[in-house]
Amino acid sequence: MGENKDILKKNGLKSTKSRKLILEVLEKSKEPMSAQKIFNNVRHQGELDFSTVYRTLSTLTDKSIIIKNIEDNGKAYYQINNHNHSHYLICSECKKRILIDACPLEEMAKNLEKITGFHISGHKLEFIGECPECLKKDKL
């Protein structure tokens, strides 16, 4: 629990209420969260301003303590950066996410570097589909 203090210090950030609260909330959540949802969760215990939430998310993202992703609805979702490379299978109905642990792309990336002369720093991969539960519901 004191861990977050250390993470912040290590990144040259002051240890403030908002940062600790938001990191706590994100750690508890299995899903990436929108700024709005984070705000709602944080609101109960201690009242943060919306702009503070955004500013905090922004600095935490800059330091790569958390990861920001923009989804198809155009909104940003935030999650703890656990530093292990991961991809998801996402249900188009209920938005459930399943972690895919295999990643076949490192090899492909190396190949592409050779062919194109790019220096490749990362990739994004998502599979979209319908999960078994939603498939069942659709049949009703």
Partner DNA sequence: CTAGCTGCAAATCCTTTGCAAGAAA
Partner DNA sequence: TTTCTTGCAAAGGATTTGCAGCTAG
| Contact positions vs DNA (CB under 7 A) | 9, 13-19, 34-36, 47-52, 54-56, 58-59, 70, 74-76
- CA 13, CA 75: separation in Å to the nearest integer? 26
Joined together, the tokens standing for residue 95 give: 């938005």
Smaller CB distance to its own copies: residue 38 or 131? 131
Identified binder of its own copies from the candidate list 52, 117, 137, 139, rule CB under 8 A: 117
How many amino acids of this chain bind its own copies (CB under 8 A)?
36
Rounded to a whole number of angstroms, the CA Rg of the chain reads 18
Residues of span 32-61 touching its own copies by CB under 8 A: none
Q: Is 67 in the site for its own copies (CB under 8 A)?
A: no
Task: Map residue 44 onto helix, strand or coil.
Answer: helix
Q: Is 139 in the site for its own copies (CB under 8 A)?
A: no
- CA 37, CA 25: separation in Å to the nearest integer? 10
Smaller CB distance to DNA: residue 63 or 96? 63
For residue 120, which of 107, 135, 137 has the smallest C-alpha distance?
107
- At 63, the amino acid letter reads K
Smaller CB distance to its own copies: residue 6 or 94? 94
Bridge pairing between strands 76-80 and 66-70: antiparallel
Residues that bind its own copies (CB under 8 A): 70-74, 76, 89, 91-92, 98, 100, 102, 104-105, 108-109, 112-113, 116-132, 135
